[in-house]
Amino acid sequence: AELNILTWEGYADPSFIEKFEQSSGCKTTSTYVGSNDDFAPKLAAGGGVYDIIVPSIDTIGLMRQAGFVQPIDTSKIEGWANVYPEFSTATDVAAEGETWSVPLVWGSISLMYRPDKIEPAPDSIGVLFDPKYKGKIAMWDDKSSLYWTARLLGYDNIYDLTDEQLETVKQKLIEQKPLIRKYWATAGELTELYANQEIWVSNTWTGLQSKEVNALDKGFQVVEFTPKEKAEGWMDSMQLVKGTPNEECAYKFFSFMLNADGQCGIVGSTGYFPVNPDAVSACLTGAEAEAKKVNNIEFVKSLVMWQMPARLDKYLETWNAVKAAP
């Protein structure tokens, strides 16, 4: 049997996938996406090519509504019970009385900067809009830019902004454009932008990019910080594509990923946080465990967790309008 997974790079690292293949007898093939926005088009276009997809929490609802995925029988998944309930019962994970996805890893999105260039140390999202750093700022090329701006503007209904609010957000972002060096699209691109001295400050996938930049040792260090307006949080979970012929293997995969081999493997290869704290007790200890926020569910609460915007279309259109603006 085989299993075709549409996922993120690092989420199917041979270091643990090989174990899965041996133990389950399922051959896996992984295809990688660059963004959450790749999932729907891939399924809309092809269909029937993938068995499992791994979108972030703000996208799983869309998958359900578009009819791309089918409900999950959690009883077939070992370790389901140990998953943080904040995730296993989150909006869109559980909906319409069914469970639609299996949490996999989570993380936050904070800010990052070069202390040798930026003084004093910033503490607000506002640094991304600071004309002092014109041409040295990068933002993620994602609708989440709208969330950041909305929060800077003090809106608290960031996933359900009114038309006026969206318009204000849009204007703010257009105003910011001359300051922006580049909208970064991937982790690697951001790393590269720092390494090549193109930028000094940006938002970042907590943990991953700062580590990579610092590892390059280009004669400067970068520092992450959580702005006073809070960081954003995300969680990636696995979904079962509707009509997959490889359901059996899929469930084996879910179980595998929620348990020690899978959780340790993915945390190891990506640096993100496990959703099943029990599973990593053996591989993460002490400071490591603390860094990975194991059992620190309070941290989740301190984050602005992603949700699917109520008017996703409108958000996407707004974000595109920002990018299209001169």
Query: What angle, rounded to 10 degrees, do the helices at 260-270 and 14-24 form?
Result: 160
Q: Mark the segment that binds another protein (CB under 8 A) among 36-44, 107-115, 160-168, 248-256.
A: 36-44
Nearby residues of 121 by Cβ (< 8 Å), 6 or more positions away:
113, 115, 223, 225
**51 versus 261: smaller Cβ distance to another protein:** 51
What number of chain residues touch another protein (CB under 8 A)? 54
Q: Mark the segment that binds another protein (CB under 8 A) among 31-39, 81-89, 94-102, 117-125.
A: 31-39
| Footprint of another protein on 11-30 (CB under 8 A) | 29
Q: Tell the smallest beta-carbon distance from residue 195 to another protein (Å).
A: 5
Q: Tell the smallest beta-carbon distance from residue 16 to another protein (Å).
A: 16
Q: Tell the smallest beta-carbon distance from residue 262 to another protein (Å).
A: 21
Q: How many Cβ atoms are within 10 Å of 264's Cβ, its own excluded?
A: 19
Tokens of 298: 């309070």
Candidate list 1, 19, 21, 34; residue touching another protein; CB under 8 A? 34
For residue 213, the 8-state DSSP code is H
Candidate list 180, 222, 238, 260; residue touching another protein; CB under 8 A? 180
Under the binding rule (CB under 8 A), the answer on residue 261 touching another protein is no
Q: Is 54 left (phi over 0), alpha (psi -120 to 50) or beta?
A: beta
Q: Which residue bears the tokens 């077939």?
A: 76
Q: Tell the smallest beta-carbon distance from residue 48 to another protein (Å).
A: 6
Q: How many Cβ atoms are within 10 Å of 313's Cβ, its own excluded?
A: 8
| Interface pattern 115-144 for another protein (x via CB under 8 A) | --------------------xx------x-
Q: Tell the smallest beta-carbon distance from residue 176 to another protein (Å).
A: 9
**228 versus 323: smaller Cβ distance to another protein:** 323
Q: SS3 sequence, 244-294? A: CCCHHHHHHHHHHHHCHHHHHHHHHHHCCEECCHHHHCCCCCHHHHHHCCC
Under the binding rule (CB under 8 A), the answer on residue 35 touching another protein is yes
Largest CA distance in the chain: 57
Specify whether the CB–CB gap between 84 and 275 falls below 8 A. Answer: yes
Under the binding rule (CB under 8 A), the answer on residue 189 touching another protein is yes
Residue 39: Cβ-neighbour burial (10 angstroms; 0-12, 13-18, 19+) = buried
Residues that bind another protein (CB under 8 A): 4, 6, 9, 29, 31-32, 34-35, 37-38, 40-42, 44-50, 62, 65-66, 135-136, 143, 177, 180-183, 185-189, 191-192, 195-198, 216, 218, 312-313, 316-317, 320-321, 323-326
